[in-house]
Structures are given as C-alpha cells and as structure tokens.
C-alpha cells in the first residue's frame, strides 16, 4: 500500500483545491520559508485523526480552515483526502478487495468534523482502526515534523515505548485490551448489580412464599364459607316462602273488616253535611251583622283619629315657626360679619396698589441698566475674539514653520546617511568574477543538454515500446479473461448437469452401485448415455424407454441368470443392445405414419421396443388419426402425451432442470465446447507470457535509463538555474550601478533644496514671533476691561432679581386680598336671599295655623252619632251568634260519632297495612335472599338435596362464624402473592441464568486479556530485539562509527519504558541530552529507519530532517534514504541541494499571492525539453 495522491482544499494556506501527485517513492517538496510546505504535513496528520490543535500548530481546530488574506475572504470549510494504492492488498480484512482506498476529512466553521472512507461517511474510530498496526497514525513514527526528529530521541521512555509498540503492530492489541478491560469493568458492574437484584429478589421470594401459602389457606376457607353461606341462605329462603303464604290469608280477612267500618263512617258524614249547610246560612247572617258592627266601630275610630291628627299638626307648625325665627337672627349676624370683612379688604387693596406700582418702576429701571451693561459686554467680547483671531494666525504660522524646520532637519540627516550608503555600495560593486563563472556554466550546460537529449531519446523509445506491449497485453488479458470466464461457466454448468444426471440415473444409490460393482457392471453405460435423440423429442422417448436402464450386449451378462431375487433393493432395468435375428418385426408401411424410432440414432437392439409407436406433431392430429391405429399401437407427441385406440396418457410435469435425455444431450454439447476451448486458452496463455517477458525486459531497460535521465534533468536544471541566476545578477549589478549614480545626484539636489527651504522657514517663523509679541500687550489691557465689565454685569443682575422678587410678593398679596373681597361679596348676596326665604316661610305657617281651627266642632258631632249606631248593632249580633253556636254543637256531636267510626276503620286499615307491610317485607327479604343465593352460583335443587337434618340455621350460623374467625386470624392477605410469587420465581431463574452467563463472560474476557498480554509480551520482546539489532547496525552507517542501543527501564514487558543509549565516534557521553543537534537528528533517523527496516509503514514524511546536518552527514542520510526507497515511499521537505538531487519527483510550493499557497510544476525533464526546443 502506497500513498498516491493528497488532495487539499481550504486547509490553512491552501485555499484553492490542489492535488499532490506522489508518483515516485522519492518525492521532494520545495519552496521558500513561510510558503506553506509544512502545511502538507499537518494536512496528512489531520486527516488521519489528529484531534489536538496544538499538534497542528494552532489554538483551536478552526485554525486549520483558511482564515482569509489581504485579498481573499475566509472560507467556511476545509477538506483533506489521502488516496492509497492498495492493489497489492497489503491492507487486509474487508478492505483487501479495494484496489484504491480514499480517506477524507472535512471540517466546517461550526466545528463539525466529518470522515469519509471511499466516499462513505464513517467515524473517526473507523479511520484509526484502518491504520492500526501499519505504522501510520496522527502521531506515528512515519510522520517526522520540524523539531520532532530531535524530540524523538529525547522523548520520555513511555512515549518511546508507544513508538516501538506501533512498529511491533501491538497497538491494535492495546486497543483491544483497553476495550476488553472496559467490557470487564462493565461486566463486573453488571454482576454486582445483578447480585444485589438476586439478593433482594431472594428476600422478596421468601416473603411472597409465606404470603402465597396464607393466600391459599384463605382461598380454601373462603370456599367453605361460600358453601355455608349458600346453605344458610337457602334455608332462610324456604322459611320466608312459608311465612309469606300465612300472611296472604291474614291479609284477606283484614280487608273484609275494613270495608264494614268504612260504611259506618260514610253515614255519619252525610248527617254532618246537612248540619253544615244550616250552619253556613246562619254564619252568613252573623257575618253581615258583624260587618256592619265593625264598620260603625271603624267610623268612630276614623273621627277620633282626625281629631288627634289636627292637634299634632298644630304642635308641629308652632315648633317650625320658632325654628324660623332663630334662623333669621343667625343669618342677620353672618351678614354683618361679611360686611365688616369687605371693608377691611378694600382698605388693604388701597394700600398695596401704590407700593406695587413703585416696585414695577424699579424693575424697569434695573432692566434698562442691565441691557446697557450686556451690550457693553458683547462689544468687549467681539473685540476680544477679534484680537484672538489676529494672534492665532501668526501663532499657527510660527508652529507650522517650526515643525517644517524640524522635518527638514530630519530629512537632511536621512539624505546625508543615504548618500553615504550609496557611495559605499558603488565602491563594492564589481562583476569580473561573475563573468568568468557565467562562461564556465554556459559551457557545462551545453554538454549536459547533449547528454540529456541522447538519454531522453533512448528512454522515449523504450517507453513507447513498453506502452505498446502493455496495451497489447491488456487486450490479450481481457480476451483471455473472457475465455476463462466462459470456460468456468461451461465447466460449472457441466458439473451441475452431471450431478443431476448421476441422481437421475441413480448412480448415487449406494446399494445399486455396490451390486453393480459386485456384478462387474459398474462401467456398463446406461441407455441414456448410448441414445442420440433428435432435439425436442427427448421427453417423448423418456416416456417410452427407461433412460437409467443398463445397456448390455446380452442379458446373459447379468449374474445368477437374471433371477429377480438377486437384484438390487432399488430395482434394476437392463436393455439388450445387440439386435436379435428373427425377432425384429417388419417395419410398418402405413402411409402418413412416422415411427418414433426415426427420431433416435441408437443401436439396433433398441428399435424393437419402439415398434407400434408413431409420432404426432400435435395432440389434435393424434386425436384425429387415432381410429387408424391397430391394437398395441399408439401416437406420442413431443411433450410425451400418448394416445391409443380409446385411451390417452398424460405424463407428469417435467422437471424444471429437464429430463435425463435432454440433460445428456446438453452434457455432450458442453463437453465438445470445452474440448474446443482448451487449446484456444492454452495458446492465449502462452501469448500473454511472451508479452509479459518482453514488458519485463523493457521495464528493466526503462529503470536503468530513468535514473540517468532524472540525474541529467536535475543537473541541467541546476546548471540552467545557476546560469540564469548569474546572468540576472550581472544585469542587476549593471542596473544597480546606474541607479546608484542617479540616486546620488538626486540626493545631492534634495539636500541643496532642503537647505533653502530651511532658511525660508526660519525667516517666516521669526516674523510671526515678532507680530505675536506686539499683539500680546494689547491683549492684557483688554483682559482687565473684560473682568471689570463682567463684575458690573453680575451686580446689576443681582439688583434686578431683588426688585423682581419684591414686585412678585406685592402682586401675590394684592391678588389674595382681591380674592377675599370677591368671596365676601358673594357670601353677602347669599345671606340676603336666605333672609327673604325665611320670611316667606314664616308667613305661610301662620296662615296654616289659622285655617286648621275651623273644622273642630263638626268632628265632635259625627263621633256621637257613630257610637249610638254601634250599640244597636251589638244587640242584633248577640242573637245571631246564639243560633250559630247551637248548630255548631250538633255538628260536633256528629263529628265525634264519625271520629269513633273512623277510629275503628283506621284500626282495621292499620291492621291491613301492617299485614301488607309484613307481606312486602317478606317478599323483599325473599327477593334479596334469592338474589344473594343466585350470586353464590349454586343450583337450588341440588344444594337443597345436600342439606342434612343437622344443618339447621343455628348450626350453619355457628359454622360460618367459626370459619370467619379462622379467616380473621389469618390477618391481612395478599391475594396477588400467588401470581407475584410465580412471576418473581421465573425472574429469579432468569437472573440466575444471567449471573451464570456473566461469570462465564468474565472468565472469557480474563482469558482474552491473558492471551493479549502473552501476545503483546512476545511481539514486544521480538520487536525490541530486532529494532535494537538494526539500530546497532544503522547507527555506525550514519555516524561512520560509534554505537547505539535500546534499554528497558524495568523487567515487566507490558509496562517498561524504552531509553536510547548512544555513543558517537570518539565520545563518551553520559546522557543523550549532551549530544549536539546534528547528532540527535542522526540518532533519531537511525532509530526511525531501524523501525522501518522491521515494519515499514506505507510512507514516511520527513519535514526538514536534514536541516541540522552538515554536508557529509547529509550525503550519508541521502544514501540511506535512497536504499530504503526500494521498499518505503518517502515524501520529504528540504532546502538542501543534495537532498533535492535525491528526489525523483519534485513538487514546488510558492506564495506569490500573500497568504495563499499554490503548487508550482518542477518537472526537470519538461524544463530541459522546453529549453532545447
């Protein structure tokens, strides 16, 4: 597996989509500092699952997304994809069948990170699992960043152990061990929880067992109680039915007695009705008299009431008249008080009005003086501002000229320094040596180009031949694959048909095969194998013949004379294939009939068995022609339907795989086709092998030519670059010399001009300072005048505010007094109106008192007449009352007699109702008992027969009480305990099984841990020893001597750390930290390459690993890389020319646009071709 492409888009400085084509095992990435070369390393680390922004040289994971530049906006997503060539199938498992594997990662601004495997969304875990044990990973030894090469040897023992574990391929075991330990922890936790559940469930089961047994006893007692209650109810029901019949007889007798008493009551009621009519007439007369008597009394009361009302009205009027006199006096007093108050208000107003007028005049005077002062202040302010403006211009001019002078002085110093630098640079410029170097390089370049053209011509011819042979080989392989697939398909079909045929011919019957072996007939062919039937008539022939029958020359070949008792258990059929002389009947000569034998090409011995069987093209033809058949003859169709004279036979539905004869025909055809195809395949294989051999020869020639052409390309590119650099440098020197002379002259002119400007600025500044001194004197005088005017204005404003406050106070007092005066005048008007109203009311009351004294005499006369009429009516009323009372006495006597009769009738009715209630009560009780008995579910007649003589109600009641007492002694019963106990017992059994399963699983996991530990120890020990041995060999190759080895920090192979002990040639160092940077780098390279020797990762990324090495060490480093590149793919970033020469494929990275990295084609061969064009 090798890395073939890296696709990057939006990742760090690679904003535009780019593709790094890694077509060689030695790929170099070149470019200036800061152009983004190392971002390719970060991209590979990131896509392989790196989750730490710090290891990607960032603060957060969003930093990997292009964040914009001076000319570009930020993008919203970054994506990196690695494409691996897995045609060799190095990546096993489910991915072995993929020739190409693409791993992709995307991240957006919202922090969402997505992984894809061959275009399918997956988890980060899936990506890391793919690379486990391959040496690849976000922090594996296959990716060496800047500075990491030295950190590798200085790493902690635990970190160095992780590197060795990855090389040993046990990282996947550690991951599995960690997962197994996690599962074990979860299993133990589940086991603990399960144990708690089982313990708690045991307690519940014990409790439920007791409750279930109590519930069973309770159910038995309740069943006994139910039977006793049913018997007691049945006995009580029978007793109530007898009691009901007795009550029905008593109820009939009580009804007759009640009817007799009702007749007596009705006679008394008739007499009472007559008396009531008489009493009603007398009562009406009494009521009339009583009404007249009451009317007379009412008249007397009305006259008496009128007299009392007149006296009360006169008293009220006298009291009201007294109140009116008091109110008139009070109102006159209030009016006098208001008049005095009005007089006081008028006097106060006359005093306040002159004072207010005087205050207003003072305010006007103060306002005039203030306005004059403010006007004077404004004039002074304008004069002050004018003076300030006059001073601002020269002051600003002085400041500007001063700043200008300082700037000119700085520029003069800078120009003098620049002139001095230009003069020094002019002295240093010289191009004689560069001219000589240019001539030498031009000559060397011409020689290199000639050799390169010859090498490219040879390489091009070889590649064209190789490509042509490869295309021919591909065409041949395609054709050969198609023919092989056809052969396999035919062979598979043949095998399937032969298997079916063996079963159809009963070759798979053990007893039959054993019998044939014993009889020496195992190789005898069957009839199906010897017949050759015309296509389409196989089914018809099978209906007539037995295809599985043995085809023998003579039947005498059968052992034991062909006795049936000696045949196989499954039966046997045999056909004599040789024709018997004189036994074959003559052929039919009937026109229009064709025998079935004409459809078969077979031995002559078969034909007699087909005599009398003719073929029919259709069923209709056979039915039409059947009357022409003779006895023993028949027609047969291609489908196997036979029609004879008066009979028809339809065969069973044929097998979907075809009949035996049809399969035999197809088997013969397949065998012929396979025989024809075999020589064609053999010839194709030989042709493919010839082309493969030619391709290997051409490939070997190409590999021999390619390094030489690549070297010439690199040499030509370097020489051309150096020549172009020298030419450009000479042109730059000439151009720079002319520029220096021109710049010196310009600088001198600028110095002269700035001296003149400095003198002009000095004169202008002095004039401005003199003008400022003159204006400063007038400014001080005007400042004093402004202060005096400001003080005077403040005093005037204070005086004005004082006068304004006084005027405001006088105005307020005057307005208050006027308000009081207006109020008093309004009150005076109201009081005068009130006096007039009281005077009018007084006059009206005196008139009413005088009018009430006139009707008093007429009222006394009316009272005397009413009293006389009332006395006469009282005598008449007394007589009427006596008559009514006599009638009422007679009615009371009749009612008493009726009451006695009703009492007797009521007693009879009560007796009747009592009997009805008793009967109804018995019926209700009977119905209730019947309903209760029906609810028991017992049959009435069956249970009545079961009741014995001793089971009286008292005895049953005692038994029922005993049963209830026994139930009561059981206490609270949980009837659901029986079902709960059954459920919990089943659950307990299930949990016990789970407990057993978990214990077994835990034992299995512990065994897995032990197995993983054993495998880890073995692999780690073997890897440690092999890496240590290879490190001991690799270190002297890089250093030219010295020694280096690995040491374990402890004896436990599962936890021990790893340290490096190195001793460069001629040194005795106590610690690796005392080594120089170059020595550390070489030591780390030796360790990494030793690991690669043991477990080479698919590729190795090296980021400026050669930076700390000198030229000699770089050479040894490059030689080692070149040797290992035969097995490992190297992608390295470098600035070293020697390392650049090592690369077979160069990729340039540039940053012409600030902040944006782009790829530059560095195809040396193409460059040479363009140069020579």
From CA 363, how far away is CA 366, in angstroms rounded?
Answer: 5
pLDDT of residue 584: 47
Look-up of token digits 């007679």: 890
Bin 133: left if φ > 0, else alpha if -120 < ψ < 50, else beta.
left
pLDDT band at 993 (very low <50, low <70, confident <90, very high): confident
Average pLDDT of the segment spanning 970-983: 75
CB distance 645 to 629 below 8 Å: yes
Q: What is the pLDDT of residues 547-556, one digit of tens each?
A: 656 556 566 6
Q: Which of 458, 440, 452 is nearest to 1172 (CA)?
A: 452
Structure token digits, residue 868: 């006389």
From CA 158, how far away is CA 140, in angstroms rounded?
Answer: 14
What share of the chain in percent tops pLDDT 90? 4
CB distance 79 to 10 below 8 Å: yes
Average pLDDT of the segment spanning 366-379: 80
Give the 3-state secondary structure of residue 431: coil
Structure token digits, residue 596: 């079935």
From CA 790, how far away is CA 794, in angstroms rounded?
Answer: 6
From CA 1119, how far away is CA 307, in angstroms rounded?
Answer: 158
Angle between helices 157-168 and 171-428 in degrees, nearest 10: 110
DSSP-derived pairing of the beta strands 120-122 and 143-144: unpaired
Look-up of token digits 């051409």: 698
**Neighbouring-strand partners of residue 1099:** 1129
**Neighbouring-strand partners of residue 85:** 2, 100
From CA 512, how far away is CA 519, in angstroms rounded?
Answer: 10
* Range among 252-261, 406-415, 1149-1158 rated most confident: 1149-1158
Residues ≥6 apart with Cβ < 8 Å to 519? 558, 559
Give the 3-state secondary structure of residue 578: coil
Distance between start and end Cα atoms, the chain: 39
| Alpha-carbon dihedral angle through residues 459, 464, 467, 469, given to the nearest 10 degrees | -110
Q: What is the pLDDT of residues 651-666, one digit of tens each?
A: 876 555 567 766 777 7
Give the other-Cβ count within 10 Å of 1007's Cβ: 10
CB distance 883 to 257 below 8 Å: no
DSSP-derived pairing of the beta strands 1058-1063 and 1099-1103: unpaired
pLDDT of residue 553: 59
From CA 1088, how far away is CA 1076, in angstroms rounded?
Answer: 18
pLDDT of residue 116: 94
Half-sphere exposure of 220 (CA within 13 A, CB side): 7
Q: What one-character DSSP code corresponds to residue 642?
A: E
Q: Which of 485, 483, 487, 484 is nearest to 495 (CA)?
A: 487
pLDDT band at 703 (very low <50, low <70, confident <90, very high): confident
pLDDT at 1163 over 70: no
Look-up of token digits 């003072």: 362
pLDDT at 1130 over 80: yes
From CA 168, how far away is CA 1046, in angstroms rounded?
Answer: 15
pLDDT at 266 over 80: no
Half-sphere exposure of 342 (CA within 13 A, CB side): 14
Structure token digits, residue 536: 């389409």
From CA 776, how far away is CA 767, in angstroms rounded?
Answer: 15
CB distance 1066 to 1096 below 8 Å: no
pLDDT band at 7 (very low <50, low <70, confident <90, very high): very high
From CA 138, how far away is CA 64, in angstroms rounded?
Answer: 15
Give the other-Cβ count within 10 Å of 794's Cβ: 10
The string of DSSP letters for 436-488 reads: HHHHHHHHHHHHHHHHHHHHHHHHHHHHHHHHHHHHHHHHHHHHHHHHHHHHH
Half-sphere exposure of 851 (CA within 13 A, CB side): 8
CB distance 843 to 837 below 8 Å: no
Angle between helices 1164-1172 and 660-851 in degrees, nearest 10: 100
pLDDT at 1076 over 60: yes
Give the other-Cβ count within 10 Å of 118's Cβ: 13
Structure token digits, residue 860: 């006394």
**Neighbouring-strand partners of residue 649:** 642
Structure token digits, residue 333: 């007093």
Q: What is the 3-state secondary structure (H, E, C) of 648-700?
A: EECCCCCCCCCCHHHHHHHHHHHHHHHHHHHHHHHHHHHHHHHHHHHHHHHHH
From CA 788, how far away is CA 872, in angstroms rounded?
Answer: 127
Q: What one-character DSSP code corresponds to residue 145?
A: -
Question: For residues 359 and 1136, which has the higher predicted lDDT (pLDDT)?
Answer: 1136
- Give the lowest-confidence range in 59-73, 147-161, 445-459: 147-161
Question: Element (H or E) spanning 1046, and its range?
Answer: strand 1043-1048
Ordered by start, the domain boundaries in the chain are: 492-518+527-662
Give the other-Cβ count within 10 Å of 420's Cβ: 11
pLDDT of residue 377: 75
DSSP-derived pairing of the beta strands 1145-1150 and 1158-1161: antiparallel
Kindly tell me the sign of the dihedral angle through the C-alpha atoms of 277, 278, 282, 285. positive
Exposed, middle or buried: residue 1155 (CB in 10 Å: 0-12, 13-18, 19+)?
Answer: middle
Question: For residues 292 and 764, which has the higher predicted lDDT (pLDDT)?
Answer: 764
pLDDT of residue 114: 92
Residues ≥6 apart with Cβ < 8 Å to 1026? 1094
When the pLDDT of each residue in the chain is averaged and rounded to a whole number, the result is 78
* Range among 18-22, 52-56, 133-137, 399-403 rated most confident: 18-22
CB distance 1129 to 23 below 8 Å: no
pLDDT of residue 1165: 57
Question: For residues 104 and 753, which has the higher predicted lDDT (pLDDT)?
Answer: 104
Residues listed for the chain: 1173
From CA 337, how far away is CA 914, in angstroms rounded?
Answer: 98
From CA 143, how far away is CA 1102, in angstroms rounded?
Answer: 6
**Neighbouring-strand partners of residue 81:** 7, 104
CB distance 618 to 637 below 8 Å: yes
Give the 3-state secondary structure of residue 108: strand
Say whether pTM exceeds 0.75: no
DSSP-derived pairing of the beta strands 113-117 and 100-108: antiparallel
Kindly tell me the sign of the dihedral angle through the C-alpha atoms of 171, 173, 176, 182. negative
Structure token digits, residue 270: 């008739």
pLDDT band at 581 (very low <50, low <70, confident <90, very high): very low
Question: Element (H or E) spanning 984, and its range?
Answer: helix 977-1039
pLDDT band at 501 (very low <50, low <70, confident <90, very high): low
pLDDT at 115 over 90: yes
């Amino acid at each position: 597996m090798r890395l073939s492409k890296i696709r990057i888009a939006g990742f760090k400085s690679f904003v535009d989509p780019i593709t790094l084509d890694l077509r060689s095992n030695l790929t170099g990435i070149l470019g200036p500092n800061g152009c983004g070369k190392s971002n390719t390393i970060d991209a590979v680390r990131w896509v392989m699952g790196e989750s730490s922004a710090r290891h990607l040289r960032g603060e957060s994971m969003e930093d990997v997304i292009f964040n914009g530049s001076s000319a570009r906006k930020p993008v919203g997503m970054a994506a990196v994809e690695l494409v691996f060539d897995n045609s060799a199938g190095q990546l096993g498992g489910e991915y072995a069948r993929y020739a190409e594997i693409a791993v992709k990662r995307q991240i957006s601004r919202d922090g969402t990170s997505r992984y894809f495997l061959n275009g399918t969304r997956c988890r980060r875990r899936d990506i890391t699992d793919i690379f486990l044990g391959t040496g690849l990973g976000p922090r594996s030894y296959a990716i060496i960043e800047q500075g990491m090469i030295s950190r590798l040897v200085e790493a902690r023992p635990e970190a160095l152990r992780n590197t060795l574990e990855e090389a040993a391929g046990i990282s996947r075991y550690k991951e599995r061990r960690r997962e197994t330990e996690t599962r074990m922890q979860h299993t133990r936790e589940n086991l603990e929880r399960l144990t708690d559940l089982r313990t708690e469930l045991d307690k519940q089961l014990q409790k439920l067992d007791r409750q279930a047994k109590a519930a069973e006893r309770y159910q038995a007692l309740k069943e006994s109680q139910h039977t006793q209650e049913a018997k007691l109810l049945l006995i009580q029901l029978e007793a109530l039915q007898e009691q009901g019949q007795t009550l029905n007889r008593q109820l009939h007798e009580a009804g007759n007695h009640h009817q007799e008493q009702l007749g007596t009551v009705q006679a008394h009621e008739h007499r009472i009705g007559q008396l009531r009519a008489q009493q009603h007439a007398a009562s009406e007369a009494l009521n009339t008299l009583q009404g007249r008597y009451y009317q007379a009394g009412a008249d007397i009361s009305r006259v008496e009431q009128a007299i009392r009302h007149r006296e009360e009205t006169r008293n009220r009027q006298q009291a009201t008249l007294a109140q009116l006199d008091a109110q008139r006096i009070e109102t006159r007093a209030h009016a006098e008080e208001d008049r005095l108050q009005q007089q006081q208000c008028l006097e106060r107003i006359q005093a306040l009005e002159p004072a207010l007028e005087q205050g207003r005049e003072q305010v006007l005077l103060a306002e005039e003086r203030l306005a004059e002062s403010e006007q004077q202040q404004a004039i002074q302010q304008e004069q002050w501002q004018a003076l300030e403006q006059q001073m601002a211009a020269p002051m600003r001019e002085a400041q500007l000229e001063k700043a200008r002078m300082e700037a000119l002085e700085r520029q003069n110093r800078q120009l003098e320094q620049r002139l001095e630098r230009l003069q020094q640079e002019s002295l240093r410029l010289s191009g004689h040596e560069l001219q000589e170097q240019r001539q030498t390089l031009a000559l060397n370049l011409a020689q290199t180009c000639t050799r390169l053209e010859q090498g490219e011509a040879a390489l091009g011819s070889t590649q064209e031949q190789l490509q042509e042979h490869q295309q021919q080989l591909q065409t041949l392989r395609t054709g050969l694959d198609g023919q092989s697939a056809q052969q396999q398909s035919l062979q598979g079909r043949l095998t399937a048909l032969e298997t079916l045929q063996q079963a159809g011919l009963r070759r798979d019957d053990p007893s039959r095969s054993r019998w044939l072996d014993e009889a020496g007939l195992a190789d005898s062919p069957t009839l199906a194998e010897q017949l050759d039937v015309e296509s389409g008539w196989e089914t018809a022939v099978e209906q007539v013949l037995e295809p599985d029958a043995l085809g023998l020359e003579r039947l005498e070949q059968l052992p034991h004379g062909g006795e049936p008792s000696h045949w196989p258990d499954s039966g046997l059929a045999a056909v004599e294939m040789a024709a018997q002389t004189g036994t074959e009947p003559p052929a039919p000569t009937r026109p229009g009939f064709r025998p079935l034998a004409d459809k078969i090409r077979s031995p002559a011995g078969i034909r007699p068995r087909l005599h009398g069987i003719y073929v029919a093209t259709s069923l209709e033809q056979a039915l039409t022609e059947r009357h022409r058949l003779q006895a023993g003859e028949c027609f047969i169709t291609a489908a196997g339907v036979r029609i004879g004279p008066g009979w028809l036979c339809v065969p069973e539905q044929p097998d979907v795989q075809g009949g035996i004869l049809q399969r035999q025909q197809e088997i013969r055809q397949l065998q012929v086709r396979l025989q024809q195809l075999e020589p064609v395949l053999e010839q194709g294989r030989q042709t493919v092998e010839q082309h493969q051999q030619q391709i290997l020869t051409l490939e070997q020639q190409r590999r021999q030519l390619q390094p030489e052409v690549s070297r010439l390309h690199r040499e030509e590119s370097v020489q051309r670059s150096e020549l172009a650099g020298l030419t450009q440098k000479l042109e730059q020197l000439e151009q720079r010399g002319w520029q220096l002379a021109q710049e010196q002259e310009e600088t001198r002119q600028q110095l002269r001009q700035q001296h003149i400007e400095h003198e002009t600025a000095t004169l202008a500044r002095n004039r401005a300072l003199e003008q400022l001194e003159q204006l400063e004197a007038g400014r001080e005088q005007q400042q004093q005048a402004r202060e005096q005017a400001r003080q005077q204005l403040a005093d005037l404003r204070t005086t004005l505010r004082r006068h304004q406050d006084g005027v405001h106070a006088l105005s307020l007092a005057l307005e208050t007094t006027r308000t009081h005066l207006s109020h008093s005048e309004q009150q005076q008007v109201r009081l005068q109106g009130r006096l007039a109203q009281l005077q009018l009311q007084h006059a009206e009351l005196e008139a009413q008192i005088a009018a009430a004294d006139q009707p008093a005499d007429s009222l006394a006369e009316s009272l005397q007449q009413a009293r006389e009429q009332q006395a006469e009516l009282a005598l008449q009323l007394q007589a009427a009352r006596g008559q009514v009372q006599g009638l009422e006495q007679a009615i009371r006597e009749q009612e008493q007699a009726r009451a006695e009769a009703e009492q007797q009738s009521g007693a009879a009715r009560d007796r009747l109702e009592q009997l009805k209630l008793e009967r109804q009560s018995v019926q209700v009780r009977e119905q209730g008992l019947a309903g209760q008995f029906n609810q028991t579910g017992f049959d009435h007649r069956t249970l009545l027969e079961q009741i014995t003589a001793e089971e009286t109600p008292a005895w049953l009641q005692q038994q029922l009480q005993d049963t209830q007492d026994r139930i009561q002694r059981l206490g609270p019963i949980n009837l659901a305990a029986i079902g709960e106990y059954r459920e919990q017992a089943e659950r307990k059994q299930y949990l016990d099984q789970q407990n057993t399963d978990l214990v077994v699983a835990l034992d299995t996991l512990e065994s897995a841990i032990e197995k993983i530990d054993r495998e880890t120890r073995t692999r780690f020990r073997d890897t440690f020893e092999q890496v240590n041995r290879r490190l001991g060999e690799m270190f002297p190759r890089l250093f030219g001597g010295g020694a280096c080895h690995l040491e374990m920090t402890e004896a436990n192979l599962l936890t021990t750390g790893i340290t490096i002990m190195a001793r460069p040639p001629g040194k005795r160092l106590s610690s690796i930290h005392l080594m120089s940077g170059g020595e550390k780098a070489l030591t780390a390279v030796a360790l990494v390459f030793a690991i690669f020797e043991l477990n080479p990762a698919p590729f190795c990324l090296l980021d400026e690993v050669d930076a700390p090495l000198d030229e000699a060490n770089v050479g040894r480093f490059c030689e080692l890389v070149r040797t290992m590149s035969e097995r490992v793919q190297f992608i390295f970033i470098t600035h070293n020319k020697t390392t650049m020469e090592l690369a077979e494929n160069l990729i340039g990275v540039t940053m012409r646009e600030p902040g944006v990295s782009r790829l530059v084609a560095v195809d040396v061969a193409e460059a040479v071709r363009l140069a020579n064009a």
